[in-house]
Amino acid sequence: MIDILILDDSDEKISLIEKYLLEECNIPQTNIFKEKNIKDGRKILYDRDFDLLLLDLVMPRDHETEPNAEESVKFLDEIYYNSSIHIPAHIIGFSQFDDLINAHQETFDDKLWHLINFSFTQNSWKDKLKSKVCYITSLKQRFKEAIESKNYYDIGIICALETPEFSEILQLDLPWKKISFEGDPLVYYSSEINTLNGNKHKIIACSITRMGMQASASVTTKIIEKFCPKYIAMTGICAGVKDRDINYGDIIVSENITDFGSGKMVETDAGDVVLKPEPHQIPTDQTLISKLSNFIRENDEIVKIQSKYRGSKPSTVLQAKIAPTTSGSYVVSSEGLVQSIIAQNRKLSAIDMEGYGVYLACHFFNKTKPLVVKSVCDFGDKHKGDDYQQYASYTSANFLLSFIKNML
């Protein structure tokens, strides 16, 4: 909706114009602003933008001076040379005095603005005003739709780390284009995917550049608000849980995620401080999980992912699982700690530091469906290392790409 500023010192005229804007042009009351002298009009134009300025040709300079036929024209010039003033997108001058209309018509014509005759008894000015308001409203809506279309993406992809996680996303067989936005410190990459179902999905991807649920929740929220994706996915590495038939590089899709650090810290009788866990579980979309289940069960793409990797990889056969996972605010490198974490949920299969933040952010935007796809690079014990981080980043990134191509 457009914002309109009326600059006029006549209460009767303001009331008539405002009534017409409200009743005939469907402009909400909250979008109509009124000032009765040039000084106050200048002040409000310092503070905000307007789509339309309705300027009477006879205005007082301030609340202490009499109306003067020259003040409005001087102010019209000032709008252009005063850099502190937000220039309205459109300006219409009006007066009920024909001699003033004739005297200042050229001034308005030179600036490509309109000057119309106002009358309390005739309605010709109303038709002209309504035409201009309808034009501005339509133009602004088309411009808004064009901007939204340009910045609209079907799928958002994020990673916690530039390397090795995000580097594997950029290595996917996609025509990535680097883009940035003024005032936004993140660097984005856009692309398109043609699916086997005949769909074309626009992709926006970025690296958070730091680990943790707070960072992942913040960036997820930013991407949803900025690009409105239907899906937002996170790939990368995680710690697997032993005795779950999980090997290095295996892909874990988070059916639901908890925060293993959520709860209450209490002191025992022995003086030890312990956590009484109160994990909050957030699921992803079940339709998405159903598609993933079919993809894993009926597709041989997972075997192809492993065979195409040219670096060091384990001898076990790559597999993908859908299972509950958990997130925490610190790196886990203790088998005892892992055991205490999985005691909260006997079906937990993986531990990471960001997934819960992604699911939590999407929880507040129910039109965006989250998906965390991470691969096992260690088991969170004292043998924790980085030998399989590259491989795990590769398998998670390529699994996501294959799923999008085959199922979305």
Same domain, 145 and 163: no
Among 104, 132, 150, which residue terminates a domain? 150
CATH of the domain at 137: 3.40.50.2300
The whole-angstrom separation of Cα 120 and Cα 117 is 10
Task: Tell me the CA distances in angstroms from 332 to 89, 213, 276, 329, 339, one per residue in order.
Answer: 57, 15, 18, 9, 11
Please, are residues 295 and 316 in contact by the beta-carbon 8 Å criterion? Answer: no
Same domain, 143 and 167: no
Per-residue pLDDT of the chain (408 residues; tens, 9 = 90+): 899 999 999 999 999 999 999 999 999 999 999 999 999 999 999 999 999 999 998 899 998 898 887 888 888 888 888 889 999 999 998 888 878 888 778 777 777 678 888 888 888 899 999 999 999 999 888 877 666 666 789 999 999 999 999 999 999 999 999 999 888 999 999 999 999 988 999 999 999 988 899 999 999 999 999 999 999 999 999 999 988 899 999 999 999 999 987 767 776 677 776 667 677 889 999 999 999 999 998 778 898 999 999 888 999 999 999 999 999 877 776 777 777 777 777 789 999 999 999 999 999 988 899 999 999 999 988 777 788 999 999 999 999 999 999 988
Same domain, 141 and 181: no
Same domain, 223 and 95: no
The whole-angstrom separation of Cα 185 and Cα 182 is 8
Among 129, 150, 171, which residue terminates a domain? 150
Among 150, 166, 188, which residue terminates a domain? 150
Same domain, 112 and 129: yes
CATH of the domain at 215: 3.40.50.1580
Same domain, 17 and 163: no
The boundaries of the domain holding residue 116 are 4-150
Same domain, 207 and 308: yes
The total of structural domains in the chain comes to 2
Same domain, 134 and 239: no
Please, are residues 101 and 95 in contact by the beta-carbon 8 Å criterion? Answer: yes
Same domain, 171 and 34: no
The whole-angstrom separation of Cα 379 and Cα 346 is 16
